[in-house]
A = this chain, B = another copy of it.
Amino acid sequence: MKKTSKNPITNKNYQIPEILDDSLGINNFLSRNNGKPVVVVQGLGFVGAVMSIVCANALNAEYAVIGTDLPSESSYWKIASINDGFFPVVSSDPKVEEYYLKTKKKDNFYATYDNFAYQFADVVIVDINLDVQKESSSDYGLSGFNVDLSSFKLAIRDIGQNCKENVLILIETTVPPGTTKIATEIIESEYIKRGLSIDKVKIGHSYERVMPGPNYIDSIQNFYRVYSGINKISADSVENFLRTIIKTDEYPLTRLGNTNSTEMSKVLENSYRAMNISFIVEWSRFAEEAGVNLYEVVNAIRMRPTHKNIMLPGIGVGGYCLTKDPLLASWSRQNINGDGNEGLMMSEMAVSTNDKMPSYAFNFLKSFYGDNFLKGKRVQLLGVSYISGVGDTRFTPVEIFYKELVKNECDIYLHDPYVSYWEELGLVVNQDLNTLNNDIDIVVFSTGHSEYANNKNLIKQLGKLDNLLIYDTIGILSDKEIYTLSKNHTVKVLGRGDI
């Protein structure tokens, strides 16, 4: 049987070629883009796909851009879709579709699975994933984890076996500090095998600060960048390249001393944020115990410029970065850079604490109904995405909450204005607030989408029902809304002990 790969957005099936040779396609594309410098983006995920169209619409250069990914069931559809007229990332940022259509018009963006492409590249941008294998304990807290660099190393070797001698390799993947040095050793050993000069190796590291959502493109093109190179020539080459795709006059570049530094900078950024979130977890419980409205308190504290970054309580942390980057750092300290023993305990603890947040949030339901009386309750979840304003369900804390509800034999209804299909769980999600089920017992505000805030219709709709438990896990309800809803419902807000 022939293997296929399905685009989950369009549902279109693409047949994976049996003979993996796309040299003709690549050659044709390059001859149509004769004379343009070639940028190959390795990895067509949330970063790589968007990075490709940013490069293909560079501010002051004309590139021929080739995106590469694997010809696997889970990835091939991205390659085929790009060439077929469908961009593989859905976004609330209209610029994403606009940029993609521009590349179609200019015909300067092509996707392939064939490493034949690397030999033409002037720049290769590495945007492949590097995951952490987590082990979780029964309450979803972290109990152990591992990082496996082997696929990453293979991808780098693939470049080294095929690239031009004077290519610039720019690693954007979030990696354990020290990884670019490992990549450099791999590239150098391939250069030696191929009789190329290792003095010519140019490798840099620069991390993106991509935020899926309404400013997706701007988060690449109009934002501060940090970069480095394995030597001065590499760093200069990265700088020259970044200047062609980023508005560096408004968002100046920052060069750091070595590649360990930029790698560390990225995971430190995200660890800082993860830690800030985890810090407030204990205080949420404390506030509930002490009759305090923690939202009110945090907002009062945020008036101080030195305390602006203090976080609000919530249901938990999701997404691809904050849930793993502190672990990449700790793993590096243990396995690459450190003395082989000590990790980063506080950063690991932050991840572990954050991982437990959804089940802590869930515990309220258990304590409210008693262990056995939750069974059969009909629960409406408002929001399944991990963050407001975005349809991204990767590692969403709502998933753990949902699984707890399933374990307790609840009937669950899903709503999210940004998600029609919850990929990780294979579930259809209602996107229309006007068609919520009325026959429910519990309503959970689980994502802070603006559609749920100050929504008079929604409050009116809920007001018509009787005797609900309304559980706001993200502090989206105003005091006035809580007052209105409390007339015929029980309202509970996570982190508030004053109601």
Contact = CB atoms under 8 A, between A and B. Distances in A.
A310 interface: yes
Contact of A257 (B265, B273, B279, B292): B292
Contacts of A283: 264, 268, 344
Interface string A393-417: 0000000000000000000000000
A306 B286 CA distance: 25
B265 A346 contact: no
Given A296-B257, A309-B306, A272 B289 contact: no
A308 to B, nearest CB: 6
Contact of A261 (B177, B226, B292, B306): B292
Interface string A305-330: 11111100000000000000000010
Contact of A347 (B257, B282, B291, B498): B282
Contacts of A101: none
Contacts of A489: none
Interface residues of A, number: 59
Contacts of A304: 209, 224, 269
Contact of A268 (B224, B301, B339): B301
Interface in A101-123: none
A281 to B, nearest CB: 8
A297 B337 contact: no
Given A226-B300, A256-B296, A275-B279, A290 B337 contact: yes
Count chain B CB atoms within 10 A of each CB in A300, A305, A337 and give the residue with the most.
A300
A108 to B, nearest CB: 32
Contacts of A273: 306-307
Given A269-B301, A346-B353, A353-B346, A289 B333 contact: yes
Contacts of A498: 257-258, 261
B344 A286 contact: yes
A308 B307 contact: no
A291 B281 CA distance: 34
A269 B307 contact: yes
Interface in A143-189: 177-178
Given A264-B297, A286-B264, A337-B289, A303 B344 contact: no
Nearest to A251: B303
A370 interface: no
24 contacts: A178-B290, A224-B304, A226-B300, A257-B296, A261-B293, A261-B296, A261-B297, A261-B498, A264-B283, A264-B290, A264-B297, A265-B301, A268-B301, A269-B304, A272-B310, A273-B307, A282-B345, A286-B332, A289-B337, A289-B338, A290-B333, A306-B309, A308-B309, A309-B309
Given A256-B296, A258-B292, A272-B301, 5 more contacts: A177-B290, A260-B290, A261-B297, A271-B279, A346-B349
